[in-house]
Every structure is written in structure tokens, then in C-alpha cells.
Amino acid sequence: MSNQFYPLFYSFHFYLFGLMALASSLMFVTRKSPVAAAMWLVATMFALAALYIMLDAQFVGVMQVLVYAGAIMVVFLFVVMLLNLGSPADLNDMRGKWGRLLAGFVGLALVAELMALTKSPLDLRLVLPAATDVPPTGGVIASIAAPMFKEYLLAFELTSVLLLAAIMGAVVLAKKTDAR
């Protein structure tokens, strides 16, 4: 992998936010209350947004805060409230002790297997020379806009259809059931 030198300040904050993401995600999966869990997930997303920015993906970082944490999670919370699932008491949400242990174990196994992906070095010949050092001209947005509206124009347009379908679907499903 890249053996680029990073300043200590950068490294510290990178690890800090990394740990925050990890810790808050762990909190997220262990909270009984849906509201608490959602809040910890939001925290995770913030931490990730910070990491995005540190990885030179400022636009994505902003989108993460605005769209994910700001919009999607709000909808989640909204539904939690709507369905009045706020109190943990009436939920037997978590699996039993053994289930959790086993799940933790399986999670570790999965991590172990996924970590294999770090074992072979990436082929540097694949790396675009332009992307290594030189910041793209036209700013951060332009570097994203170019592929999005050229190579991935189709994908972009498709997402609009996707959203349309999703909206319609959501409306159809969530409409009040008509009396029979």
C-alpha cells in the first residue's frame, strides 16, 4: 500500500476518528433503545464524515452529514417515534447471551477473513498518476462531477428513476389501508 508519509497531527486525528467510529458503532449495536442506537449510529456517521474529509473527499464528507446523518437518520428516528418504539422495556430486542456471544465470534471470524484483503499489496501500476499527489484542477467538486456526468451519466440518471420508483413504492405501501 501507499507508503506515503503522514504528519503526526494527521495520523492522530485519523486514528481518533477511526476509533470514534468503531466505538460508536459498537455502542450502536449494543444499545437496547432504538433511539439511543440511532443516535450512536449518527455519531458513527459523523466520525466517518470526518474521515472522509481527511481522505480528501470533502464533498462526500459533507454529503454524509447532510444526506445520511441529516436526512436518512431523521427519517429513521421519525419512524421510531411514529411507531412508538421508543421505550426499551417492551422490546425483547437482543438475542440471548449465547446468541450474542456466537454472533460476536462470527463477527470476529468475518473480520479475520475480510482482513485477508489487506494481505496482498495493491498493484501500483494500476494507480492513476494524476491521483497520487496533484490536487485536481477545478476544485473538489469538479473532480467528482467529471466522472459522474461523463462516465457515470447513465448511473446518475438511473438513480433518479430509482428514487422515483422508491417514492412511489413507499407511498403505495404506507397509504392507509382502505376498508374492505
Partner 1 sequence: MMTVPTSGTHALASTVAQFVWLLPLLPLIGFLINGTLSLLAVAKLGPDDPSAAGHDAHHDDHGHDHDHGHHAARHKFAGIVSLVGPGVLLLAFALAVAIFVAMRGVEMHEPYLLTLFQWMPVGDLHIDAALQLDPLSMVMVLVITGVGSLIHIFSVGYMQDDPGYPRYFAYLNLFVFFMLLLVLGGNYPLLFVGWEGVGLCSYLLIGFWFSEKANADAGKKAFIVNRIGDFGFLVAMFLLFANVGSLDFAGVAENAGKLPFGGVVITAICLFMFLGCTGKSAQIPLYIWLPDAMAGPTPVSALIHAATMVTAGVYLIARSSLLFSMAPVASLTVAVVGSLTALFAATIGLKQWDIKKVLAYSTVSQLGYMFIGVGVGAYTAGVFHLVTHAFFKALLFLGSGSVIFAMHRAYHATHNHDDAQDMRNMGGLRKYMPVTWTLMWIATLAIAGIPPFAGFFSKDEILGNVFARAHGSMLSEVTWLGVPGGTVLFVVWGLGLASALLTAIYMTRMMLYTFHGPNRSGQAEQGHLAEAPWIMTGPLVVLGIASAAGGWLNLPELIPIGPIGALEKWLEPVVGVATKRIAGTEGHESVSTEQMLIGIAVAIAVVGITIAITRLKPAALVTKKESPASTGFARVLEHKYFVDEGYDAAIIQPTVATSRVVLWKGVDVGLIDGLMVNGSALAARALGWLGSQLQSGQIGTYAWVLLIGVIALLSAFTKYH
Partner 2 sequence: MNYDLLIPGQLLGALTPDLILMGGAMLLMLAAAWRPESEGHQRTVGFGALIVLGITFLSVLWFGAKGGTAGPGVIAMDRFRWAADIIFLLAAMGTIALGIEHNVRDGIRYAESHVLVLFATSGMMIMAAARDLMILFIGLELMSIAVYVLVGINRRSERSAEAALKYFLLGAFATGFLLYGIALVYGATGSTNITVIGERIFSYQLHHNAMLMVGIGLLLVGFGFKVAAVPFHMWAPDVYEGAPTPITAFMASAVKAAAFAAFFRVWIDAFNLVDFAWFAPLWWVAAFTMIVGNVVALSQRNIKRMLAYSSIAHSGYLLLAVLAGSRLGSAAFLFYLLAYTFATFGAFAVVATVSRAGEQGLNIADYDGLWLTRPWLAAGMAACMLALLGFPIFGGVGFFAKWYLLQAALTTQYNLIPLAVLLVLTSVVSAGYYLGVIRAMFMKPRPEDAVEIAATGKLTRVVLGVTIAAILGLGIFPSRLVRLTRSSVPTPPVAALVPQGTTSVR
Partner 3 sequence: MLAESLALSAALFAIGVVGVLTRRNAIIVFMCVELMLNAVNLSFVALSKLYGATGQVFVIFVMTVAAAEAAVGLAIIIAIFRHKQTVNLQNINLLRG
Q: Which of 128, 134, 154, 179 binds partner 3 (CB under 8 A)?
A: 128
We find the least distance from the C-beta atom of residue 119 to partner 2, in angstroms, to be 4
Q: In 3D, which of 72, 76, 74 has the Cα closest to residue 163?
A: 72
Binding to partner 2 (CB under 8 A): which residues in 92-131?
113-114, 116-120, 122-123, 125-130
CB 35 within 8 Å of CB 86? yes
* Dist. CA 13–CA 163, nearest whole Å: 36
For the chain, state the CA radius of gyration: 21
* Dist. CA 84–CA 2, nearest whole Å: 49
Which CB atom, from 16 or from 108, has the smaller least distance to partner 2?
Answer: 108
| CB-CB neighbours of 24 under 10 Å | 19
CB 63 within 8 Å of CB 140? no
Which CB atom, from 67 or from 103, has the smaller least distance to partner 1?
Answer: 103
Binding to partner 2 (CB under 8 A): which residues in 134-153?
150-153
Cα 44 to its chain centre, rounded Å, is: 8
Which CB atom, from 116 or from 134, has the smaller least distance to partner 1?
Answer: 116
| CB-CB neighbours of 118 under 10 Å | 9
- Name the 3-class secondary structure at 177: coil
Q: Which of 89, 114, 126, 172 binds partner 1 (CB under 8 A)?
A: 114
User: Is position 163 an interface residue for partner 3 (rule: CB under 8 A)?
Assistant: yes
Cα 89 to its chain centre, rounded Å, is: 29
Binding to partner 3 (CB under 8 A): which residues in 66-125?
67-68, 71-72, 75-76, 79-80, 82-83, 85, 91-95, 99-100, 103-104, 106-108, 110-111, 114-115, 117-118, 122
Query: Given the rule CB under 8 A, which residues bind partner 2?
Result: 113-114, 116-120, 122-123, 125-130, 150-155, 158-159, 161-162, 164-166, 168-173, 175, 177-178, 180
Query: Given the rule CB under 8 A, which residues bind partner 1?
Result: 95, 106, 109-110, 113-114, 116, 119-120
